[in-house]
């Protein structure tokens, strides 16, 4: 079975976006880390929710991303978008994405016999649904050294606790910390 890895940039107080939806806090750690290029060697599928897909599609498959070292690899990934409203998922001049409708379709994607791991970037609502369904194999948080005091949380609210086991913790960027967890087996 393929692994599903969720990766998110968060503030030290756990927010994935500011109160206005802004992501300016990403800049607090400097340039995007090259270690994501290494991660992408184990990935062949990018899973996104509709909102994150729209943000990514407006930047990554365009000329604006040309100077980003990660762009060629990211644009070559198989794109899968989970949405109940999108009919198609164009990706610039690249192969368009596959649109799935629900968590069960993601379960089938993970069960494919061939393929590398699947990365889920952003897509907080989708992440929360997949976490509740037991489909997330690894949670990677890139913690930025900033406190926002409010915004959009990366984590489900009012749900049952999810126990996690630490895989790795290390510094990256200017004072950021990468932490990797896997859901605990009970």
Q: What is the pLDDT of residue 29?
A: 66
CATH class for the domain made up of 4-183: alpha beta
Q: Is 159 in contact with 114 (CB distance < 8 Å)? A: no
| Contact between residue 173 and residue 27 where contact means Cβ atoms under 8 Å apart | no
- Does the structure show a pLDDT above 80 at 144? yes
What average pLDDT is seen over the chain?
Answer: 90
Q: Where are the alpha helices (DSSP H) in the chain?
A: 35-40, 50-57, 71-76, 103-110, 124-132
Strand partners, 15: 153
What whole-number distance in Å separates Cα of residue 83 and Cα of residue 89? 10
Binning pLDDT at 50, 70 and 90, where does residue 41 land?
A: very high
- Report how far apart, in Å, the C-alpha atoms of 35 and of each of 15, 56, 134 are: 22, 20, 27
On the 0-12 / 13-18 / 19+ scale of CB atoms within 10 A, 82 is buried
Determine which of 65-74, 85-94, 131-140 has the lowest per-residue pLDDT on average.
65-74
């Amino acid at each position: 079975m393929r692994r599903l890895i969720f990766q998110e940039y968060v503030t030290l107080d756990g927010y994935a976006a500011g109160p206005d939806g802004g992501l300016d806090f990403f800049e607090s750690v400097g340039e995007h880390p090259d270690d994501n290029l290494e991660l992408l060697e184990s990935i062949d599928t990018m899973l996104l929710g509709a909102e994150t897909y729209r943000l990514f599609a407006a930047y990554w498959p365009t000329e604006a991303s040309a100077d980003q070292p990660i762009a060629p690899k990211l644009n070559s990934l198989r794109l899968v978008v989970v949405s109940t409203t999108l009919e198609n998922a164009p990706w610039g001049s690249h192969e368009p994405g596959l649109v799935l409708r629900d968590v069960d379709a993601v379960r089938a994607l993970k069960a494919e016999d061939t393929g590398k791991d699947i990365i889920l970037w952003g897509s907080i609502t989708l992440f929360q649904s997949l976490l509740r369904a037991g489909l997330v194999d690894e949670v990677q948080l890139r913690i930025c050294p900033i406190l926002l005091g409010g915004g959009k949380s990366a984590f489900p609210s009012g749900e049952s606790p999810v126990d996690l086991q630490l895989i790795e913790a290390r510094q990256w960027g200017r004072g950021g910390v990468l932490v990797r967890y896997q859901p605990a087996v009970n």
